[in-house]
Structure 1
């Protein structure tokens, strides 16, 4: 009986880490300053979700965030596969920072609300790491004037829009 209980506990202990992270996900935070018109975008991922994608997005580099060429390819991939429109006009984004800390990846971009826009209708289009993780889910939080709206994207999803103000 003790042997059976011990075996069950060992099996449960080995299964727990595998169950702890069953999906692949990321978070994108878009902040729009209504006064200055500044736009900040931060993409957050776990390194263990990103490194398998480096095989396809950085084929000439090592599939590791230790390789500067792989990190540059990741930055380019995020820039190319993320589009933010405000009131029907695309926001030009420039990468401002990349932070790699343990298993945490944060890549930041900045831009400006297009002239004449009211920042009421926000459209996001993204498709990160296609063909790598079929269960990839990217949550996008859009913040402006104390209001936050959330969009969720899965592989192959079309662009989505939210309205922030009247």
Structure 2
């Protein structure tokens, strides 16, 4: 029987960044394997679902993601996402942040290092959607540097 950390063969996750039509804020949602984050945190947890629902689990999740995902305006000025929360959905952990949307959305800089410290082969795909246009930054082995995504043709 496979252990939870070996239950999947790929170390990959997806981050989606959109501007909320209702609030105008930048909404960031990360989707990663919950047991991978536990391994990265060095957490010895029996009941994964209960831990992620606990104050301790939620706080540890937010602290971890806050330090490993950075997003900036096109000129490189970092935005300051605020941790909203997290929830476990089967094996997948959803982690949510929100930030003030910049006035200029013609370009962003993304540096997504979620789980890269724990898994050499970790790949993170970050999709940013502006006015129905999607740009994607892929970061993984051999491609860990920040990525600039442009939404204008200038």
Q: Normalising by structure 1, what TM-score?
A: 0.74
Secondary structure, aligned partner of 2:38: helix
Tell me, in whole angstroms, the C-alpha distance in 1 between the residues paired with 2:58 and 2:24: 29
- Count of aligned residue pairs for this structure pair: 143
Aligned pairs for 1:71-86 (under 5 A) are: 71-86=58-73
Picking from 79, 82, 97, the partner of 1:91 is 79
- Structure 1 distance, partners of 2:68, 2:33, is 18
Q: Which is greater in Rg?
A: 1
CA distance in 2, matches of 1:70, 1:81: 17
**Whose helix fraction is larger, Structure 1's or Structure 2's?**
1
Q: Which residue of 1 aligns with 2:136?
A: 150
Tell me how far 1:33 sits from its aligned partner.
4.9
Residue 149 of structure 1: CA displacement? 0.7
Calculate the TM-score normalised by the size of structure 2: 0.79
- The answer to whether the 8 A contact 2:58-2:85 is kept is no
Q: Counterpart of 1:113?
A: 101
Quick one: structure 1 residues 35 and 162, their matched pair in 2 at CA, closer, same or farther if it must change by over 3 Å? farther
> In 2 relative to 1, CA 36–70 (structure 1 residues): closer, same or farther, beyond 3 Å?
closer
Aligned-pair distance for 1:32? 2.7
Task: Check conservation: 2:112, 2:126, Cα contact below 8 A.
Answer: no
Quickly say closer, same or farther: Cα 1:21–1:62, change in 2 above 3 A.
closer
